Structure 1
């Protein structure tokens, strides 16, 4: 089968980290290769229909991901963990987690609690470290086929188009994070209107949130989608609080009750910390990397920082079920590309998808 394989290279990692999106795509450690058809006892072969490009994939390619994560992923690997596939003619969304039960191990304490996304054995057992898309033993979705255990496959509701169905995995990420904001605040500021930020806006409305949503958008097309997905207002900065200045520095008093950081950037994280009110909450949804941030707001204003990574099985199932009522979510898609068009996919505006 054909697949896009990421092969680590420290010189390219540091060069890409230094240059960012200016780094030549031809030099990225990604290549289209021919691989044997995957097979493994207890796993089903899934023909990939669509697979998304996630911010964490871009972070890996451009050297932004933290070395802290290195022991929990394994390479070389076929990337892609947002996967819509097909098994015996049935469309399925793939839950990419590889926890104790996938690794042939008795459940760890977190898996016993149903928290497979926090599995303590993610680098143990019969499989290499990491989830699908970050695992050298099992191919991710940027190839013609992947492998998954039957319980990791969720049928797509009838009438849901492929371009919406493939968004189930990032929607599950968002749903889990949003639940950590309960009891609901009266107002939420969402920083960053990429895929995760826009899904956060729509996800709040899908979960029945009736409060005010403010969206911080960088580009006009993001602002337009934010409004269409349920934002009450698109803003350029904080709309609450009083600014105080001394010695050339500015700090806010007051601010927002809850801030969702969805950009995955250091700037967005710093903004979220600075704009949360005293006793407020910051939800970190965007995949962070190595960044410099002033943590004094956490201490001085007693702001709570909430991290959210993946999901429970029930949260993934809920995301798939909500696809039916999430009409228009496919507007996030900025283009569908063949595997050989990966350079164009990485430059796409909006969510890029591969159709192997």
Structure 2
């Protein structure tokens, strides 16, 4: 089968073996798979990514970064074959998403984070049957493929304080935009969307952001007072009527960004860190203490959040279509990775390995 393979610090399109389904597994044909920021990190920071994952107790212990890896964990696929010991609750031809983890005699291993189990940048994958989540209601596969990044957004939004809050999303890449979509789907706001890229701010507006800010033109934090968030020296939160709490989502993930938000955030603000910074970083704890900031780090999602994400997308409760910038084939993937790594302007780019 054809696949886009992470081979060293590059993506190459090549042939690889079609994996056979093992005990309790199914083979699926990939219809669409999203390009995730973690896949982009894997090109130049794979060793660090694996090291952080191992130290955090995640499922990266069986990956050898020196060998080929077919990335891709945000997918929608069609069941084409059942392996031994499967229950076959879903039928051949059914469309599915999945928790991207496989179980075999050696234990658990991530799909798309493995030398053994190729991810959604391949024509076919093997998935564990018990990890499948059905795509219902005739939902198009390109939308269902966004269940995974939307689950990440749901998880981040679930961590936030929603008691009379005002929100700022810093960085309108795929996860920042998904967080905006989730906030507005819940009827929450006002939401300030901050990004240098006009195309991404336009998507944020389509998703319902109340205020768009280009930080090259103006300071987004100048807007807190107009949103009824106390801002400035010797102004204490909730000491006046109509005072809202500021909730900031950090969705950039570069060194220095967290401390810049600590420096600029209103007193008593909450910062949810959803951007993945792959380099060591530093903050000024005393500044955060003086402001009594609350900082939370957000990673992935729970099983319930993933099922909820898929259900809401399939039922039309979450409109994810504005997030999709374009769909590319496997042969376009190396150039697309280069673009997203050097001059990102897109929201979510999907891969269709059938092209």
| 2:118 equivalent to 1:139 | yes
Q: Distance in 2 between matches of 1:223 and 1:82?
A: 23
Unaligned runs of 5+ in 2: 80-91, 225-230, 238-243, 341-345
1:44 to partner: Cα distance: 0.8
Which residue does 1:18 correspond to in 2?
none
TM-score when normalising by structure 1:
0.77
Instruction: Give the 3-state SS of the residue equivalent to 1:63 in structure 2.
Output: helix
1:192, 1:268 within 8 Å by CA — same for their partners in 2? no
Residue 209 of structure 2 is aligned to residue 210 of structure 1: no
Residue number among 153, 171, 177 corresponding to 2:156 in the alignment:
177
Give the distance between the partners of 2:284 and 2:115, measured in 1 at CA: 36
Whole-Å separation in 2 of the counterparts to 1:50 and 1:173 = 18
- Distance (whole Å) between structure 1 residues aligned to residue 334 and residue 163 of structure 2: 41
Give 3-state SS (helix, strand or coil) of 1:310's partner.
coil
After superposition, give the CA deviation of every residue in 1:303-326 in whole Å (9 maximum; x if it has no partner).
222111111111101000111325
- Say whether 1:91 aligns with 2:132: no
Aligned counterparts of 2:151 and 2:349: Cα–Cα separation in 1: 18
How has the CA–CA distance of structure 1 residues 29 and 175 changed in structure 2, closer, same or farther, with 3 Å as cutoff? Answer: same
1:69 matched residue in structure 2: 52
Aligned to 2:241: none
Aligned residues of 2:101 and 2:108 also touching (Cα < 8 A): no
User: Counterparts of 1:184 and 1:86 in 2: how far apart (Å)?
Assistant: 42
- State the alpha-carbon separation in 1 of the partners of residues 107 and 183 from structure 2: 38
1:328, CA displacement in angstroms? 4.6
Contact 1:280 1:302 survives alignment (8 Å): yes
State how far apart, in whole Å, the 1-side matches of 2:265 and 2:289 are. Answer: 12
What's the CA shift for 1:300?
3.1
* TM-score normalised per structure 2: 0.78
User: Following TM superposition, by how much is the alpha carbon of 1:180 offset from its aligned partner in structure 2, in angstroms?
Assistant: 1.0
Deviations 1:67-103, CA, capped at 9 Å, x for gaps: 64263521332100101101122111122145xxx35
Task: Tell me the equivalent position of 2:7.
Answer: 7
What's the C-alpha RMSD, in Å, of the aligned pairs?
Answer: 2.6
Residue by residue, what CA displacement relative to the aligned partner does 1:111-160 show, whole Å, maximum 9, x if unpaired? xxxxxxxxxxxxxx4345xx221112211111011111122211223242
Query: Do the aligned partners of 1:2 and 1:143 also contact (CA within 8 Å) in 2?
Result: yes
Q: State how far apart, in whole Å, the 2-side matches of 1:180 and 1:328 are.
A: 22
1:136/1:166 CA distance change after superposition, 3 Å: same
Query: Which shows bigger deviation, 189-198 or 177-186?
Result: 177-186
Question: Which residue does 2:263 correspond to in 1?
Answer: 274
Residue 251 of structure 2: aligned partner? 262
- Structure 2 equivalent of residue 298 of structure 1: 288
**More moved, 66-75 vs 224-233:** 66-75
SS of equivalent residue, structure 1 residue 77 = coil
Aligned to 2:87: none
Structure 1 unmatched runs, 5+: 9-27, 105-124, 245-251
1:319 aligns with 2:298: no
Distance 2:335 2:322 in 1: 19
Q: Distance in 2 between matches of 1:35 and 1:315?
A: 33
What is the CA distance between 1:341 and its match in structure 2? Answer: 1.5
- Distance in 1, Cα, partners of 2:351 & 2:125: 14
The answer to whether the Cα contact below 8 Å between 1:5 and 1:33 also exists between their aligned partners in 2 is: yes
State the distance in 1 between where 2:31 and 2:37 align: 20
1:177–1:350 Cα change, 3 Å: closer
Question: Which among 168, 173, 187 is matched to residue 194 of structure 1?
Answer: 173
Cα distance in 1 between the residues matched to 2:302 and 2:139: 23
Residue 165 of structure 1 aligns with which residue? 144
Match of 2:84 in 1: none
